[in-house]
Amino acid sequence: MENLKRTPLYQCYSKYPGAKFIDFGGWELPVNFEAGIIGEHMAVRKVAGMFDVSHMGEIIVEGPDAESYLDYLVTNDVKGMEDYQVIYTLMCYPEGTVVDDLLIYKYNNKKYMLVVNASNVEKDYNWILKNKKGQVSIENISDRIAQIAFQGPKAEEILQKYVNFDLSSIKFFHFKDPVQINGIDCIVSRTGYTGEDGFEIYLTAEQSPRVWDYIYEKTKNDGVLPCGLGCRDTLRFEAKLPLYGHEISDKITPIEAGLKYFVKLDKQNFIGKDVLVNQVQQGVKRSLKGLEMIDKGIPRSEYKVYKDDKEIGFITTGSYSPMLDKNVALAMIDSNLKVGDEVYVEIHGKMKKAIIVKTPFYKNTKKE
Amino acid sequence: MEILKGLKYSKTHEWVKVDEGVAYVGISDFAQESLGDIVYVELPTVDSEVSKGDEVANIESVKAASPIFSPLSGTIVKVNEELEEEAELINHTPYDAYIFAIEMSNPSELDEMMDADAYEEYCETEASH
């Protein structure tokens, strides 16, 4: 694969003969390791898995007006955050559609770290600069930072044996900085993109292979697997966590995508507010719903959905669900449809029956 | 990667094994390996007429749907119904898990296919791309 970017952890992959690589938005990243997508998926649901997510972007926003500026830039409540808290939020265009979804890490009301999608780093950075308000400095540090996600119901129990700080003191959607892993300074947050408990670890690119190797060597006998982007997608999909370009995009609003919880309509002002307030008050014509296939076949992204021979929308993500052992999908369709309604998905030119089901498809009951 | 001797191979990674005049078609070990976990196979319809190169079936891995092309012309006389419940057989035993069988209308098409040695060479150039 030519001209693809590689993460600082790429050098570790020679140790994993089963690793298969794909071009993911210009990055050469493992889609799966030896265990395969389903094996890795189940490891994360039952034990824990580790992912290289160094392709994600990190942007530092600092300055006396950082808090009020970010509160205006994104949909969620930045002013209400406590120090060392993390929030999930969206950044919208004035039209209400989505620039990107991101995490915001708050150090204090003058310093924040934004974690954005790899494929959107440049676009986001330019958007953030363009909408700059007041005294703030904005720095894209993506190339200097690596990220390892350690995810699964046993993530805390296993990782705790090999780190000398108390992981249980990091609450859900909070972080600590710095903490040492194998003597190396890291930022550790209790966050993730799998629907399981777990941690995301940020550190410098140069030091990251030492931390990856350390965690892998220590935890492999506990059943922890190295995991690729393939299961990252199936895991986040089962838990109904949106993926930019699928459930949300520059053509879809957070309200349509069922993300109203992360849009604080009572905030004084933020980009996209007028449209989003209007959508909540008037209702939306289409919204994100879950489908389960009755007929055989796997619905995939962009396949069309029909009701009574009328096209009513499209699949945003569809897959075989390893946990349910069923073929399911998320679809952006007519918002009037209810759980139990029958629809049809066009798969390879044939109409295949499906029913509307509740989402998420999977929920870890033990998670906070 | 295993390449079974005595079979014929296509450039789209199907294999053909002729048994009592009927051509059985599956996908190679190379193909199943690059697809990853296979979760569903959309089989062709028995008695349908197909031409060489037609898209006749679909193999769905977790990640994507991949079309299967008929390497030969003729009539589909049998499909491997076992795959409807156990699509992963293709991952486990790619050379036993045939997908469909064809009664050939033009058996000379077999001569245009690769033998095991030629196919091995072909896979090496594919893998290096």
Q: Which of A328-364 are b and which e, b meaning 16 or more Cβ less than 10 Å from the residue's Cβ?
A: bbbbbbbeebeeebebbbbbbeeebebebbebebbee
Residue found by looking up tokens 């998320």 in the block: A330
State whether A155 and A215 are in the same domain.
Answer: yes
Would the CB atoms of A37 and B37 count as touching at under 8 Å?
yes
Q: Which residue of B has its CA nearest to A39?
A: B37
Residues of A in contact with B35 (CB under 8 A): none
Alpha-carbon distance of A172 to B41, in angstroms, equals 41
CB A208 within 8 A of CB A148: yes
What is the average pLDDT value for chain A, to the nearest integer? 97
Query: Chain B: nearest CA to A234, how far in angstroms?
Result: 8
- For an interface test with B, the pick among A4, A33, A38, A321 (most B C-beta atoms closer than 10 Å) comes out as A38
CB A339 within 8 A of CB A351: no
Q: How many CB pairs under 8 A join A and B?
A: 42
Domain spanning B8-127, CATH architecture = Beta Barrel (2.40)
Query: Chain B: nearest CA to A250, how far in angstroms?
Result: 24
- CATH number of the domain where residue A330 is located: 2.40.30.110
Domains of chain B, by residue range, sit at 8-127
State whether A47 and A164 are in the same domain.
Answer: yes
Is the link from the previous residue into B71 a cis peptide, with omega within 30 of 0?
A: no
Query: Chain A: nearest CA to B113, how far in angstroms?
Result: 27
Query: Chain A: nearest CA to B35, how far in angstroms?
Result: 10
Would the CB atoms of A320 and B65 count as touching at under 8 Å?
no
Burial of A60: CB neighbours in 10 Å, binned 0-12, 13-18, 19+: middle
Kindly report the three-state secondary structure assignment for every residue of A199-257.
Answer: EEEEEECCCHHHHHHHHHHHHHHHCCEEECHHHHHHHHHHCCCCCECCCEECCECCCCC
- Residue A48 located in a structural domain: yes
State whether A148 and A210 are in the same domain.
Answer: yes
Residues of A in contact with B58 (CB under 8 A): 348
State whether A202 and A306 are in the same domain.
Answer: no
pLDDT digits 0-9 by tens, A280-314: 999 999 999 999 999 999 999 999 999 999 999 99
Residue in A299, A352, A360, A274 with CA at minimum distance from that of residue A324: A360
pLDDT of A366 reads 62
pLDDT tens string, chain A, 368 residues long: the values are 678 999 999 999 999 988 999 999 899 999 999 999 999 999 999 999 999 999 999 999 999 999 999 999 999 999 999 999 999 999 999 999 999 999 999 999 999 999 999 999 999 999 999 999 999 999 999 999 999 999 999 999 999 999 989 999 999 999 999 999 999 999 999 999 999 999 999 999 999 999 999 999 999 999 999 999 999 999 999 999 999 999 999 999 999 999 999 999 999 999 999 999 999 999 999 999 999 999 999 999 999 999 999 999 999 999 999 999 999 999 999 999 999 999 999 999 999 999 999 999 999 876 54
Residues of A in contact with B34 (CB under 8 A): 20
State whether A49 and A147 are in the same domain.
Answer: yes
Alpha-carbon distance of A74 to A54, in angstroms, equals 23
- For an interface test with B, the pick among A31, A348, A350, A352 (most B C-beta atoms closer than 10 Å) comes out as A348
pLDDT of A365 reads 74
Residue in A330, A338, A322 with CA at minimum distance from that of residue A303: A330
A326 in contact with B at a CB cutoff of 8 Å? no
Residues of A in contact with B60 (CB under 8 A): 297-298, 320
Q: Which residues of chain B have pLDDT under 50?
A: none
Query: Chain A: nearest CA to B27, how far in angstroms?
Result: 19
Q: Which residues, listed in sequence order, are joined to residue A292 by a DSSP beta bridge?
A: A328, A355
Would the CB atoms of B62 and A37 count as touching at under 8 Å?
yes
3-state secondary structure (DSSP) of residue A357 = strand
SS3 of chain A: helix, strand, coil, percent, to 5? 25, 35, 40
Would the CB atoms of B65 and A230 count as touching at under 8 Å?
no
- Residue A262 located in a structural domain: no
- CATH number of the domain where residue A147 is located: 3.30.1360.120
CA A231, A235, A237, A239: dihedral to nearest 10 degrees? Answer: 180
Strand segments (E) across B53-92: 55-61, 65-69, 74-79
Packed helices A229-238 and A36-46: angle between N→C axes, nearest 10 degrees: 50
Number of domains forming the structure of chain A? 2
Q: Which residue of B has its CA nearest to A21?
A: B34
State whether A158 and A46 are in the same domain.
Answer: yes
- Which candidate from B39, B40, B63 shows the least CB-CB separation from A31? B63
ipTM: 0.87
- Which candidate from B34, B36, B62 shows the least CB-CB separation from A319? B62
Residues sharing a CB contact under 8 Å with residue B125, sequence separation 6 or more, in sequence order: none
Residues of B in contact with A36 (CB under 8 A): 36-37
Alpha-carbon distance of A365 to A171, in angstroms, equals 17
- What is the domain extent for residue A150? 10-54+143-238
pLDDT digits 0-9 by tens, A158-183: 999 999 899 999 999 999 999 999 99
Would the CB atoms of A298 and B65 count as touching at under 8 Å?
yes
